Every structure is written in C-alpha cells, then in structure tokens.
Amino acid sequence: MVTVQLNLPDDVYLALQSAGLNREQLETQAIRGFAVQLYNEGRLSFGKASRMANLPLSKFWQLLVERGIPVFTYTEEDYKDDLDAVEQYSR
C-alpha cells in the first residue's frame, strides 16, 4: 500500500472542521473524489477507481451517478459498430 499525504493550510482545515468534517471524513472524501476524477478522465478503469475509493463496484457506480459522471461512454461510433454487427449476424 502506498500512502499519499494531503497538506492543507491550518485555516482551511479549521474551516472544514467547523463544517463538521473530521480528519477521517476528509481523507475519505478526498480519496473518493480523486478516484472519481481519475475515472472520469480515463486514467483509471472502473474497477481500479472503485478499489482506490475503497468501495464495492455497486457503491462506486452509485457515487458516479450521484456526481453526474457517466458510468460508461457509448459513442455514436460504438452504436454504428453495434448496428453493423447486428446486421451481419442477422443475415
């Protein structure tokens, strides 16, 4: 396991504490937010981002939906390829 440290200015940390976030909650939210961002950028697969967020796949899926992040992308090109495959196998 690799540890990555997050340094915050004291006043920012105090503001977050005042907002009701303790150190553990802050760490959890930071790592999950980063996992979502990396998944959204295509830098991590769904499975690896889920592991990074320390969430089961179904919970990570739910987190993506809550944040408005597409769980998967299905392009127009993908659609055309699928139509071509269906036509080919229908013959």
pLDDT tens over the chain, length 91 residues: 898 898 999 999 999 999 999 999 999 999 999 999 999 999 999 999 999 999 999 999 999 999 999 998 888 898 899 999 999 988 7
**pLDDT attached to residue 41:** 95
- Answer whether 31's CB lies under 8 Å from 21's CB: no
**What single-letter DSSP state applies at residue 54?**
T
CA-based Rg of the chain, rounded to a whole angstrom?
19
**pLDDT attached to residue 74:** 81
Length of the chain: 91
Rounded Cα distance between 33 and 39, Å, is: 10
